[in-house]
Chains A and B, each alone.
Chain A
Amino acid sequence: MKSKSSISDLIRKLFTEKIIYVVLLVLIVVIICIEPRFLSVSNFSNILAQSSTRIIIALGAGMVLLVRGCDLSTGRMIGLAAVISASMLQDVGYAYRMYPHLKELPIIVPLLLVIALCALLGMISGICVAQLKVPAIIATLAMQLVLYGASSIYFDREPYGAQPIGGITPRLTKLCTGGVKFGSFRLPYLTIIAIAAIVFVWILWNKTKFGKYIYAVGGNPEAAQVSGVNVKKVLIETYSLAAVMYAIAAVLEVGRIGSASNTTGNGYEMDAIASCVVGGVSMSGGVGSVGGIVIGVLIFTVINYGLSFIGVNMYWQYIVKGLIILLAVIVDMRKYAKRK
């Protein structure tokens, strides 16, 4: 009797709370039915590679969502970090270098530079939100505009003007497009980096004091304040740390795409927020997990990749993505409505 009810419970749960995974499964099955070639190791490897940087970005954006924030500057911050790091990572043999006399730099130098820069910029967003009480959406919207302007100025100048910054050193592109072979399966290096990021963020959120503070501040800032959490400090650190994630992702994007321009990163904040929401991060803060975010990103990448694979036109892809976001949020709302 008991087991029967638990099965029906599971099924009910599957069609309410876990409906998003059902949708993913259905989509994959439909894609495979239309195009059996979808089931190949190279596709799997591609999906992993395409998800990797997105996971790093979404973990940053998700961290901000956890503290009841919302970072609209994600994409443009990636753009700025991308053009700056790309300009310093052009191959010395490339004819159209932004800094023709720049010596060959180890990848770590521009990486640390953009990490420092983004940490500072994230801190500014954090201070606006925490100290000056600017609504997060406004503070980061302003930041987004400033960053786009700044990256366009940096990018669009003599001698070559608004040309994509290309000729990226193979040391970086090989790292971002290569992988470890396991038979016919290739595990992209990017995925290994993403896994490292996942582990790091998981420990941060679940095993450290800072992580507990993030959830506390997101769940109920007043209560957190009363119980002795320095809410402002936590907010500023969260924005700053998220920006560090963007900086790392930006350098990896440069290697993956092989160039950077002022359009690099455009719209990434929406992809990241959508992935978080689909992965169960609540827009009202305090709720969300690393695993959920990873699944959220994978869902979108599978949709993106799978629909391209079977030749579904871009316009339809937008519609499918929009519906999935809506579905995820409706399920999310129902979950909380029930609890209340």
Chain B
Amino acid sequence: MKKIVSVALCGMMAAGLVAVPAMAEDLPILGAGIYSSTDNFNSYIGKAIVKASEGKFKVNIDDGQLDQSTQLNQIDTAIAKGAKAIAVSVVDTTAAPAIIQKVQDAGNIPVIFFNKEITDKNVVNSYDNLYQVTSTGGDYGATIEGEMIAKYWKAHPEADKNGDGKIQFIDLMGDPGHTASQPRADYVKKAIEDAGIELDVLEEDTGMWDTAKAKEKMDAWISKYGDEIEFINCANDAMALGALQSIEAAGFNEKGAESEKYIPVIGIDALPEALEKIRSGEMMGSVLQDASTQGTLIVEIAQNLINGKEPLDGTGFKFDTDGSKAVRVPYKPVTVENVDEAAATYEGNAVSTEVETEAQ
């Protein structure tokens, strides 16, 4: 038995050795890693990096599997393979110094952190060849989400079902271990309150970014409150879809915004399915985090740095002025009015055209 295992292992290693040189071309290697393929948006940036790397870099996206030590090993491997630059979405933002140490030791190669921002300025400034590509602000799109809710509320007086002037509010938060979870919950409420609207939070709990978990939470809540609920806010679309599934089973939103019993549902990410639900009116809106632009930007920065140019040369973007060395790609509100525009993100060659329009 032992023999079989060792033979199998040797075989696998040999296959690995053969596979690597087989891909070898003259293109430089970009060592790229996402923190987990279970995060849709994160892996979507990974996809965008691959797409944008065509003809520029040889790239393979490593999956950090939510485990920092796995990710550090992957970075070691990428460097050992001769990566000219590293682009990574860290599992744990406090592990950034360890990664910086590795790229320094590898001859000061550039490192680009994406999606999860390194917020410690000392760390960011400890290495010159470090840049970040993230989405706008530390609010992870939640301010726009809150503004959309406030705008809807003001435009639809009938949404205040009990006429008390407050929004009876359900909040499905993300995984509490994820950097975006708490800010999303806080900023959405702040934006609504800043618009002069009072909130009455009926329930707030984590749905772990997960459709099935969100649905199960919502099953209990819709049975408890029914039509008392005036707004369902979800920290991502996966949960919004679960919540929608749940309330539709209870007879809400089935016929879109014209339904007899209707509760506006909003999420973040603009997933394809959410876009369909927005189009049909079952969902009120979502927020698009622009993965394709971010992926393209990461590749362009890496290429500029390798060629000794200014990092943002020719990209049309600017660094944020807060000293974070981060480019912040803006979020976009998505409602039934501009749903087609958002859907374009998912069409075949959206990556290149997207960048041109962004750059103007």
Q: If the complex has contacts A95-B343, A162-B37, A261-B40, are A35 and B348 also in contact, measured as CB distance less than 8 A?
A: no
Q: Which of A96, A159, A161, A257 contacts B211 (CB 8 A)?
A: A257
Does residue B69 face the partner (Cβ distance < 8 Å to A)? no
A94 surroundings in chain B (CB, below 8 A): 273, 276
For A43, the chain B residues whose CB sits under 8 A away are 220, 223
Establish whether residues B43 and A42, one from each chain, have CB atoms under 8 Å apart when the complex forms: no
Residues of chain B in range 196-234 having any CB-CB distance to chain A below 8 Å: 203, 205-206, 208, 210-212, 215-217, 219-221, 223-224
Please name all residues of chain A whose beta carbon is closer than 8 Å to the beta carbon of B43 when the two chains form the complex: 156, 161-162
Q: Which residues of A contact B250 (CB under 8 A)?
A: 42
Interface size of A in residues (CB-CB distance below 8 Å): 43
Report whether A96 and B220 are in contact in the complex, using a CB–CB cutoff of 8 Å. no
Hey, what's the 0/1 contact readout for A251-268 against B, CB within 8 Å counting as 1? 001001111011110100
- The answer, yes or no, to whether A154 is at the interface (CB within 8 Å) is no
Known: A35-B224, A253-B212. A164 touches B245 (CB 8 A): no
Known interface pairs A305-B216, A308-B205, A311-B203. Does A164 touch B241 (Cβ–Cβ under 8 Å)? yes
B275 partner residues in chain A, CB cutoff 8 A: 95
Does the CB pair B346–A259 fall under 8 Å?
A: no
CB of A263 within 8 A of CB of B272, answer no
Instruction: Find chain B residues with CB under 8 A from A304 CB.
Output: 216
Inside 8 A of B271's CB, which chain A residues have their CB? 163-164, 166
| B123 interfacial by beta-carbon distance below 8 Å | no
Task: For B226, give the chain A residue with the smallest CB separation.
Answer: A42
Bound-state Cα–Cα, A94 to B271, Å: 13
The residues of B that contact A15 with a CB separation of less than 8 Å are: none
A46 touches B205 (CB 8 A): no
Residues of chain B with a CB closer than 8 A to A173's CB = 245
Judged by a CB distance under 8 angstroms, whether A40 is at the interface is yes
A-B contact count (CB 8 A): 110
CB of A314 closer than 8 Å to a CB of B: yes
Nearest chain A CB to B145 CB, angstrom units: 19
Q: Are A177 and B223 in contact (CB under 8 A)?
A: no
B59 to A: closest C-beta gap in Å: 15
The chain B residue with its CB closest to the CB of A313 is B205
> Does A257 lie within 8 Å of B215, measured CB to CB?
yes
Instruction: Give A190 to B343 CA distance when docked, in angstroms.
Output: 34
> Do A166 and B248 touch (CB < 8 A)?
no
Q: Are A156 and B37 within 8 A (Cβ)?
A: yes
Chain B residues whose C-beta falls within 8 Å of the C-beta of A166 in the assembled complex = 241, 271-273, 276
Q: B172-212 interface mask toward A, CB cutoff 8 Å, 1 = contact, 0 = none?
A: 00000000000000000000000000000001011010111
Q: Decide if B223 touches A308 in the complex (CB within 8 Å).
A: no
A132 beta carbon closer than 8 Å to chain B: yes
Closest chain B residue to A133, Cβ basis: B1
B249 within 8 A of A: yes
Is B47 part of the binding interface, using a Cβ–Cβ cutoff of 8 Å? yes
Residue in B203, B212, B346, B348 whose CB lies within 8 Å of A257: B212
Asked whether B141 is an interface residue with its Cβ less than 8 Å from the other chain, the reply is no
Of B206, B217, B346, which one neighbours A96 at CB under 8 angstroms?
Answer: B346
Assembly CA distance A46 to B273 (angstroms)? 25
A46 CA / B222 CA spacing, docked (Å): 10
Instruction: Report yes or no: A177 in contact with B220, Cβ–Cβ below 8 A.
Output: no
User: Hey, what's the 0/1 contact readout for A91-111 against B, CB within 8 Å counting as 1?
Assistant: 000111000000000000000
A172, chain B: closest CB distance, angstroms: 12
- List 18 A-B pairs, Cβ < 8 Å: A35-B224, A40-B223, A156-B43, A160-B346, A164-B238, A164-B241, A164-B273, A166-B271, A166-B273, A177-B245, A177-B248, A256-B212, A257-B245, A261-B38, A261-B211, A263-B210, A266-B38, A313-B205
Binding site for B on A (CB under 8 A): 35, 37, 40, 42-43, 46, 49-50, 94-96, 132, 152, 156, 159-164, 166-167, 173, 177-178, 253, 256-259, 261-264, 266, 304-306, 308-309, 311, 313-314
Given A49-B219, A163-B273, A306-B220, 12 further pairs, Cβ under 8 A:
A95-B272, A152-B37, A159-B346, A164-B271, A166-B272, A167-B273, A177-B245, A258-B241, A266-B38, A309-B220, A311-B205, A314-B206
Taking Cβ atoms with an 8 Å cutoff, the residues of B that contact A are: 1, 37-38, 40, 43-44, 47, 203, 205-206, 208, 210-212, 215-217, 219-221, 223-224, 238, 241-242, 245, 248-250, 271-273, 275-276, 343, 346, 348
Pairs A-B, 6 closest by C-beta atoms = A166-B273, A96-B272, A162-B43, A309-B220, A308-B220, A177-B249
